[in-house]
Every structure is written in structure tokens, then in C-alpha cells.
Amino acid sequence: MRDIERALRESLSARAETYRPADVDAAERRFLERRSRHRIFRAGAAVAFAGAAAVGLFALIQPEVVRDDPIRPAPAPAALRIADRLDVADEPLALSVSPGAVWIASRQAGVVSRIDTETGDIEEMKLSGASQVAADGEITWAAGIDRIARFDDATGQPAGEYLDTLIIDVPVAPAVDMAVGGRARGGAWAVGSTGCVADLQDLRNRVCVEPDGFHATDVATGPAETWLLDGDTGDLHQLHAEPGVNDGRGVIDGEAPVPTAPPGRYADLLISTVEGRDLLWASGEGGQLLQLDLASGDSMSSNWADNEYQGDYLDLAEGYGGVWALIGHEGSDRGEVVRLDVETGEPRGVAVALSGKPSDIAAGPSGVWVTLRNSNEVVQIAGPGN
């Protein structure tokens, strides 16, 4: 934590609260009390597995938790602000939001954290090298340095067996991206640093499922389809679609070829269904953004280098009533979160400024959430009332 006076100023400014000089001492006490409530009790973990088995049991000691202020469901976005900052385990890289929880993967600490959005309780489960996490409201998948674990979204407890990626010989760890969904009956996908894509619910064939010659760097899912992005070339590929999904889609049957997305080392991919439209979003370096209407095949591109929100990369998320972009800056601790206009793909409204090296963004009923890699925090962005 940085010095208390600076932290106090940031907290008060983030909440858009004004204190008269006589109130400063009281404000500082409230700030310190609030920070002290976010204590994290680390839970031990024990892992047992047979030497040559493809899967094994992932057993955890019941985590100890501390009661905290409830995180209330947020209203429709209006005047957005930082509603809360929570301390989490070292180097939070990725997060995912479900209806009742926020999940964070912290690589250096080797921890997957679960924040209960009803109670504010924080639990921690050990997973060496945790780097990716994806939650669907029932099962949460998390990727570590050599294994992939499953947790019950409602309880945080292990959900069955873990997948030892060294034994199943599907090179998806360390993972660079994960996604859940994409099938009528659910789905789960992982992308490894080698470009291998694994269907986590069907590893019987022990093969990578991406097309030949395609080096996947990102995966995104809709209610009944899954897409891949090659961030080096900008190539897009629909990996899976349920029957009927592509009916009438020119973009799939060849009448309107799939455009090339802007390439970049930090490229990101998102499928949104906001406002009744199936849109595929892909971001590249330098604030470049592609939006593709999957029904009509219409696409449009924008380059944020030409506006006030220019940055080195964009991470994307859908939820909390909109589509959101996390604007990152190479070599800088700062970043911004802004809502995207679905019609134009351009920034909409006022950005929320962040410090602490933002690393990932996700959104859900409780708000928009961002991990801060350098300050080991997760930030909740929401409208008035939280």
C-alpha cells in the first residue's frame, strides 16, 4: 500500500466525495477501517493424484473467510465511479464475473480468489502459477502452470477432478486465455501459449482443436458459438456453432468474407449480444478496434489514436448493461475504463481513470471489475448507490 495520505486522496476522489477540512480526520478513520476489513485468510491446499492418471483429485482445506460489507448489485450505469477497491493476492492477472461472485487468478501468489458479491467475503484456493480464470455461474475454470482446476461457482469448493496438462499431453498451460460457453449446454475452452486450443469438456482425443496452421491467441464465446483470434495476423475463425446459428449469416457462408482484425501482441476478442445484436469485437495494438455484425456481415474499424482515449492496447468486456474497454498504456501504471457505443464502436461518456497497472476487465450484475497488477487490488466500477 502506498502512503496513507495519497491513498486517502485517491479513495475520496474515486468516490466523488467532498469533505470539509473539519471532516478530514473522520474521513481518514473511515478509510483505514474500510481497508482493514479486506483481510484475506489464505487457505491451505492438498493435491493427491495417481502418477500416470490423466486426472486426479484436487482437494482443498475449507477456506477461512472474513465477513465484509455486502457488495450491492449495481443499478444501470449512469455516472460511473470507483465504488470499491479490494486487496487480493500478489500479481492478479485475470478475472471473471458471475452473477454471485468475482474470480481472480493471481500468478505470483499461486492463488485463485473468489469474492462473494453478496457478503464481500474473500476466499483463496491454491493453484500454482494461476494465470487465467473463466466463470459461467455454475462452474469456474482456472488455469495454472501445469494444470486446470474446476470450482463450484456458488461455494468456491473444487468441482470434481483437475486436469493435469502434462499427463493429458494437450499443451494449454500456461494458458493465455480461457472462455466458458459457446454451446447450448455450456462449454469451456483454453488457449495455450503455443496456440493450442483445448475443448476442456472433451479431452478424450487429447488433441488441439484449432484449425491447421492457425495460431490462436484468444478465444471468445457467445450463447451458441465460439470464435478464435490470431493476434499476430488478425485472422478470425469460427471454431464451433450450434445448429441454426449461422442460418442467413452472409459472413459465414462466404457472401461477406470475415474481415481481418487489427493485429497486436495484446489483441483481445469479444462476442456481445447487447441490444439484441450479435457483434464480434476484436482489438489490436495502438487502440485499433474492429466491430463485426455477425448477422449482416457489416463491419467497421476505428483507431483510438485519433481521440482522447488513445492507448497501447484494449481489453474488452460485456455486462452491466454495455460493452466496455480497458485502455492500457505500455510502460505506465495508469489506465482507463470507458463504455463503447454499440452503434459506432467509439468511446461513450467519461472514462474512469485507474492506477496500479490495470491487467484485465470483466463485467456483471455487480458492476465492471478491473485487476490492478502492480498494487495487488481489484477495483469495482459502478453507478451511484454502491
What is the pLDDT at residue 16? Answer: 43
Q: What are phi and psi of 149, to 5 degrees?
A: -115, 155
Model pTM score: 0.77
What is the pLDDT at residue 276? Answer: 76
Q: How open is the CA angle 374-378-384, to the nearest 5 degrees?
A: 135
- pLDDT per 10-residue tile (average), the chain, 386 residues: 39 40 40 36 31 32 36 52 94 94 96 92 93 93 89 87 58 84 88 89 75 92 93 90 86 64 81 86 85 88 71 86 88 89 83 92 95 95 74
| Closest listed residue to residue 304, CA positions, set 277, 341, 272 | 341
Q: Quick one: cell of 213?
A: 496452421
Question: What's the rounded Cα separation, in Å, for the pair 160 and 141?
Answer: 11
The CATH code of the domain at 38-382 is: 2.130.10.10
Q: What are phi and psi of 175, to 5 degrees?
A: -85, 145
Q: What are the pLDDT digits (tens) for 20-74?
A: 333 444 444 433 343 333 333 333 333 322 333 333 333 332 343 333 434 444 4
Q: What are the pLDDT digits (tens) for 97-120?
A: 999 999 999 999 999 999 999 888
What is the pLDDT at residue 158? Answer: 86
Q: How open is the CA angle 173-174-177, to the nearest 5 degrees?
A: 95
Q: Please count the other Cβ atoms lying within 10 Å of the Cβ belonging to residue 247.
A: 9
**For the chain, domain boundaries:** 38-382
